[in-house]
Structure 1
Amino acid sequence: MSGLRELAAPFVTLGPSGVAVRDRLKHLTSEDEKVLRLVGDLLGTLASRDLKARCAVGLEHDTERWAERKRTLTQESSSRWAGSLTKATHDQWALARRGQLAHIQSLQAGIATITHRLSLPVGEKGTKRAPGGYRTRKEWFAKTRRLHLLQDRLEAVRADRDAGVVHVVRGGKRLLNNRHHLDTAQLTQQEWRKRWEAGRRFLQADGESGKRYGNETLRVTDDGEVSFKLPAPLAYLANAPHGRYVLAARVSFPHRGEQWRDRVSANRAVAYRLHEDTVRGRWYLTASWTIPPVKTVPLATARVGGLLGVDTNADHFAAWRLDAHGNPVGRPHRFYYDLTGTADHRDAQVRHALIRLLHWAKRHHLSIAIEDLDFSAEKTREKHGRRKRFRNLISGLPVSRLRTRLVSMAAELGITIVAVDPAYTSKWGAQHWQKPLTTRERKTSRHDAAAVAIGRRALGHPIRRRTAPPPPHQSDVVGHRTVQARPGIPGREEPRPRIPGPRTRSVRAGRGANAGNQDAQHRSGRPAEHEFWQQDSLPLSL
């Protein structure tokens, strides 16, 4: 019985369900910035208080408690701000619960790995599918202590989950910890304080269809005027009727601006968020709205004309074009990116590499086949042990963000994305395709071969190349080549078609017309020996 796991069938990914665009608020006055900070700080305080109340209730939360929280917040802000605050709190609590479940699964995977390795003798070698024992008694003893530590952590997290307890930091846990390591974070206390206050502000409002310009709380008109409803304690800051404040800056949304303008002109819901970039000293406005799911094409349609196999690596995408029969066409292409530096730099690098890849696929009218990667169970410290570089490698791959960006950007260009099972693509690609595709002028890497394997799996072909002809020579002397022509195929037993013209210089044109008819040859056992001009052998009785 084979030890290989069952492979999942390739599928066409669904398109994005929402859109988000951002534009900078230029020409803000000092009064505008002051009002934005005052409103954001006030609403941020209310958001922190509401999150604390929501976490205290835990699993006993219901609609009555939700309504009570909203009534409390309405008295200190407004009914619309209160609705946005309570919804954001509910979403943040739900996100913390999902993260808690993922942490439990990670702890369980680590405990299972350590328990297995501790049960083996010290120094026993592992296999390709299961790790072996620990190298030394010292390492074995250290892992027994770590096992108890992970078990204690697992019990604590399970107890919190059963009780509905979550641990959330508004502003981010990483930024909070930077306060105790300012030198490492290369921040001064004042710079950290500005980031902390900006991260805890609350200036966002969900849209509502039927209301003017799709949002009554934080409104943007079709000509780019930005205004928002002031909370009750800050109503004295209004510079427009009905307790509103209008900013001096205007937005235009260069990207998807027409789509946004069509929505606000039709009074359809648009959600907005205002936030400050303290590093650059700028304010930005983000608009988002939901869209109907993009209708995907059938898998058979995506395979017509071949596709583009793409292998995802730590520093580049390796891509190779394949025809409908699974044969590589042309030369491989690589699209490089750099995942070092800040998160914004990494995000920009991935975005630029993806747009180059998508433009190449669009130019040749091809679908894209890519692995359905998920390293959630592969990043554990116990999975790869001493292989720290490999652990850092897979931890640094932005798999989730890459998948989201690729699907969203491909939908805009009308490119179909086919996701395939990533099992054994690198190994089998190198085994069956790396050497045959290597020439004197082109050195094929394992990543290029993996791209071919991914493309063939998306097309429904096996990764293995076609079986070679029989060993003695390139003919049917050993038997029929059943790999090329299966039983039942019409014309399988017939001679090969005649190629017009001579095959060698010694044969003139028009000769050799009966080369494919074996009965016309003067060979032993053929009917040509028994024609009227052929002399029969004498009988032995004479």
Structure 2
Amino acid sequence: MHVVRGGKRLARTRHHLAAAQLTEAGWRQRWEAERWFLKADGESGKRFGNETIRVSPDGGVSIKLPVPLAEYANAPHGRYVLAGRAGFAHRGQEWADLVEADRAVAYRIHYDTARGRWYLTASWQIPASRTVPMAAALADGVIGVDMNADHLAAVRLDTHGNPTGRPHRFFYDLSGTAQHRDAQVRHALTRLLHWARTCGVKAIAVEDLDFTAEKTRERHGRKRRFRQLVSGMPTGRLRARLTSMADRTGITVIAVDPAYTSRWGAQHWHKPLSGDTRKTTRHDAAAVAIGRRAQGYPIRRRTTPPPAHRSDAQGHRTVQAGPGALGREGPRPRVPGPRTRCAPPDRGTYAGDQSAQHRSERSAEHGSWQQESLPLSS
């Protein structure tokens, strides 16, 4: 067996130059060009998905030179940066998403003798989409995301629907050229996915919202500024791009009903999340509402408490910690000082220990039943 670098078909063409309409010099040029190529497989986790041939999202190409050729490097770390920039007309947006997420992308640089140009070819694998059960996706909590005209407001929620940590905001600028807007959206979503992976959350909740059919004057009347604001919000494009990028990182995207998320979020979560050292916006409150709706919880903080003196009959509030949560039914911590119907402060008892509470017919010290003496009338 013989291995022919350049192809068996081109090697056989050497004996049939007239039929191929080639001269010997032309065939020799094509034969040599088939050896002028550079190929490197992709590596997930490396910067821009490839360590040998690195292509940045803006088209910059750099090559990692071997040690014998390190003296020809024109960039740090033994790299050679090409003067030209690469662009992908076919599936360029999908390639940019992979590069931003540091997913594996293989490249091949070759020379085309017919056109006299060098070409860069990118290739990658498309994994099969996995169907994740809702319970498994929400096992580690969820991140609620509220999409706005200039930023993404994100809040992390635990498994019980309670916000944890400070809200995060990922800003982007949708002015300028289409390439600039696309890059801004891609950077914001990349930061969001990196934060989700850092938190260990496997689900992101967004609104199932699209203003494509709601930009007309017949729907909003003379509200010109409002129509411009709605037209500038790429909600559908953001959701589609987030779904595409999250699928490769193992994060599930949950689309929820957008009805009243902003209004109810501001009503029930804006004030509780705000404080002297924390500034919470209504967009952060809407993100909490979106996350709770994805988890199946109502947006309001708590349900109506049971009526007075009927708590045993009514049961517990529905929006509380789960039955398996540690400390859910435990006693409250002891507070120093005198308390009503409880042991004195110097006694080492807990408020929830009812056996230690003093009652008129039971001794807290001995725990035995005693009959108190009653005065007899004369």
Shorter-chain TM-score tier: 0.5 to 0.7
Aligned twin of 1:303: 138
Tell me the CA shift for residue 435 of structure 1.
1.1
Runs of 4+ in 1 over 4 A off after TM superposition: 235-241, 243-258, 272-275, 282-290, 496-503, 511-515, 517-520
Tell me the CA shift for residue 510 of structure 1.
3.2
In structure 2, give the amino acid aligned to 1:374.
D
In structure 2, give the amino acid aligned to 1:331.
R
Aligned twin of 2:188: 353
Deviates more, 1:370-379 or 1:301-310: 370-379
1:396 equivalenced with 2:229 (yes/no): no
> What secondary structure does 2:143 align onto?
strand
Contact 1:501 1:510 (8 Å CA) reproduced: no
Gap change, CA 1:462 and 1:287, over 3 Å in 2: same
| Alpha-carbon separation, structure 1, partners of 2:184 and 2:287 | 21
Tell me the CA shift for residue 404 of structure 1.
2.7
1:532 equivalenced with 2:371 (yes/no): yes
| Alpha-carbon separation, structure 2, partners of 1:443 and 1:464 | 20
Aligned twin of 2:204: 368
> What secondary structure does 1:435 align onto?
helix
Aligned twin of 1:210: none
Contact 2:334 2:351 (8 Å CA) reproduced: no
1:441 equivalenced with 2:272 (yes/no): no
Gap change, CA 1:291 and 1:534, over 3 Å in 2: same
Gap change, CA 1:375 and 1:511, over 3 Å in 2: closer
Gap change, CA 1:450 and 1:517, over 3 Å in 2: same
Aligned twin of 1:320: 155
Tell me the CA shift for residue 306 of structure 1.
0.8
| Alpha-carbon separation, structure 2, partners of 1:288 and 1:375 | 34
Aligned twin of 1:291: 126
Structure 1, residues 5-41: CA drift from partner, whole Å, max 9, x if none? xxxxxxxxxxxxxxxxxxxxxxxxxxxxxxxxxxxxx
Scaled by the length of structure 2, the TM-score of the pair is 0.59
Output aligned runs, 1:53-92, within 5 Å: none
Output aligned runs, 1:13-162, within 5 Å: none
1:338 equivalenced with 2:158 (yes/no): no
Structure 1, residues 405-432: CA drift from partner, whole Å, max 9, x if none? 2122212222221221112111111111
| Alpha-carbon separation, structure 2, partners of 1:432 and 1:296 | 34
- Counterpart among 452, 465, 484 of residue 316 in structure 2: 484
Tell me the CA shift for residue 479 of structure 1.
3.3
Contact 1:466 1:483 (8 Å CA) reproduced: no
Deviates more, 1:403-412 or 1:347-356: 403-412
Tell me the CA shift for residue 283 of structure 1.
8.8
Structure 1, residues 253-303: CA drift from partner, whole Å, max 9, x if none? 875669xxxxxxxxxxxxx9689xxxxxx9976657883531131110111
Structure 1, residues 184-216: CA drift from partner, whole Å, max 9, x if none? xxxxxxxxxxxxxxxxxxxxxxxxxxxxxxxxx
Structure 1, residues 315-367: CA drift from partner, whole Å, max 9, x if none? 00000110000000011010000000000000000011111111000011112
Contact 1:310 1:369 (8 Å CA) reproduced: yes
In structure 2, give the amino acid aligned to 1:507.
P
| Alpha-carbon separation, structure 2, partners of 1:507 and 1:246 | 91
Structure having the larger proportion of residues in helix: 1
Contact 1:322 1:455 (8 Å CA) reproduced: yes
Contact 2:265 2:286 (8 Å CA) reproduced: yes
Aligned twin of 2:260: 424
Contact 2:151 2:171 (8 Å CA) reproduced: yes
TM-align CA RMSD: 4.4
Aligned twin of 1:510: 348
Contact 1:309 1:368 (8 Å CA) reproduced: yes
Scaled by the length of structure 1, the TM-score of the pair is 0.42
Aligned twin of 1:465: 301
| Alpha-carbon separation, structure 2, partners of 1:292 and 1:349 | 26
Gap change, CA 1:501 and 1:430, over 3 Å in 2: closer
| Alpha-carbon separation, structure 2, partners of 1:436 and 1:249 | 62
| Alpha-carbon separation, structure 2, partners of 1:517 and 1:342 | 74
Contact 2:270 2:282 (8 Å CA) reproduced: yes
In structure 1, give the amino acid aligned to 2:175.
T
> What secondary structure does 1:320 align onto?
strand
Identity of paired residues, percent? 53
| Alpha-carbon separation, structure 2, partners of 1:385 and 1:503 | 64
Gap change, CA 1:286 and 1:392, over 3 Å in 2: farther
| Alpha-carbon separation, structure 2, partners of 1:514 and 1:354 | 48
Deviates more, 1:459-468 or 1:335-344: 459-468
Q: Which structure 2 residue ranges, 5 or more long, are not aligned? A: 1-5, 8-20, 43-47, 52-87, 92-116, 324-328, 339-343, 362-368
Aligned twin of 2:213: 377
| Alpha-carbon separation, structure 2, partners of 1:514 and 1:446 | 39
Contact 2:305 2:317 (8 Å CA) reproduced: no
Aligned twin of 1:150: none
Tell me the CA shift for residue 521 of structure 1.
2.4
Deviates more, 1:364-373 or 1:319-328: 364-373
Tell me the CA shift for residue 388 of structure 1.
1.2
Gap change, CA 1:357 and 1:537, over 3 Å in 2: farther
